[in-house]
Structure 1
C-alpha cells in the first residue's frame, strides 16, 4: 500500500513539474521541513532550509519569466527536458523503500519523467495556440493557470494522492476526447 501511495504522490508531483519545474520541488522542500513527509535516503537535502530558500528564489524567477512576452515560448524549449528530469527526481524522492533501487529508478523515469513530459508538452501546445491566436496577449493567463495548477496539484498530492491521480486520468481522457471531436469537426468542415 505504501508503494502505491508513493507512486500516486510521485505522479501528482510529476504532473505538477510539467506545469512548472520548481513549484513541486519547493512544495516538497517545505513539506519535508514541516515534517509532512520524509524524503528517502539520498534526497534528505530537500529538508535543508538553504535548499528551500534556493528553490523559492528559482520558483519566483521561473514564474516571473513566464510573464515576459516571447521569453515564455523560449522557456518552454528549456523546460521540457527539465520537467522530465524534475518529474523523475520528485517521483524518486517519494518512492518507498519496498522497491529495489533499480525498480524505484525505473518507475521514476518511466512514470515520473513520462508524466511530467506529457503535461509539459500539453502546456507547450496551449502556449503555442495562445501565441498563434492572440499574438501572445493571452499568454499571461495561460502562465497563471499553469503555476496555480502546479501549486494546487503539488499540495493536494501530499494529502489526497490517489484522488489527484484519478483526477489527472479523467483530465487525460477528457482532453483526448476533446481533441478527437475537434479533429472530426475540422474533417467534416473540409
Structure 2
C-alpha cells in the first residue's frame, strides 16, 4: 500500500510539473530511470532508454526556448493544454507500478491528467493576462518561473514523493482559489 501511495504521489507530482513544462518531467524520469533511481511501470520502460533521453532533451530545449518568443508562447499554450492532459495521464500511469489496468488508467486520467490540465490552464490564463497587461514583456519572467517550477517539482517528486504530493495539493488549491475569484469588469 505504501508503494502505491508513493507511486501515486510520484505520478501526480510529475503530472503537475507537466502543467508547467510538458517535456521536463519525462526528461527527469528518463534520467532517473537510466541512473537506477526510478522504476517505471511495465510498458513504460522505453522512457529509460538513451534514444528517449536524447529526444526528450531536444524537446525540452525547443519547448523552453519557444516560450521566450512573443506570440509563440501564447500559441503554444493553446496547443499544450490537451498535450499536458494526455502526458500527465501517461506519466501518472507510468509511476503506479503493477496495478490493475482499469484502476491505473482511471486514476491516471483523473489525478494525473486533471492535475496537468488544471495547472497548464492556469499558466495559460496567467500568460494571457501578462500579455494583455505588459504587452508581453512580463512573459519571459513567467516562462522562467514555469521552467524552474517544472524542474523543482520533478526533482522533489524523486527525492520526497509524499512531500511533493502535498506540495501539488497546495498548488492546486491556489490554482482553484484563483480561478474562483471574480474577474474585474472594466468599463470603457
Q: TM-score, normalised by structure 1?
A: 0.92
1:165 positional shift: 1.7
Paired residue secondary structure (1:36) = coil
Return 5+ residue gaps in structure 2 as ranges: none
RMSD (Å), alpha carbons: 1.6
Partner Cα distance (1:126, 1:46) in 2: 31
Paired residue secondary structure (1:89) = helix
1:125-136 maps to which residues of 2 (within 5 A)? Answer: 125-136=125-136
Corresponding position of 1:45? 46
Corresponding position of 1:32? 33
Corresponding position of 2:57? 56
Aligned length: 184
After superposition, the Cα gap between the structure-2 partners of 1:177 and 1:92, relative to the gap in structure 1 and judged at 3 Å, is closer
Q: TM-score, normalised by structure 2?
A: 0.93
After superposition, the Cα gap between the structure-2 partners of 1:174 and 1:76, relative to the gap in structure 1 and judged at 3 Å, is closer
Corresponding position of 2:110? 110
Return 5+ residue gaps in structure 1 as ranges: none
Partner Cα distance (2:10, 2:144) in 1: 23
1:164 positional shift: 1.3
Pick the structure with more helix per residue.
1
1:179 positional shift: 5.8
Residue by residue, what CA displacement relative to the aligned partner does 1:94-132 show, whole Å, maximum 9, x if unpaired? Answer: 1121x2011101111111100000000010011011001
1:95-174 maps to which residues of 2 (within 5 A)? Answer: 95-97=96-98, 99-174=99-174
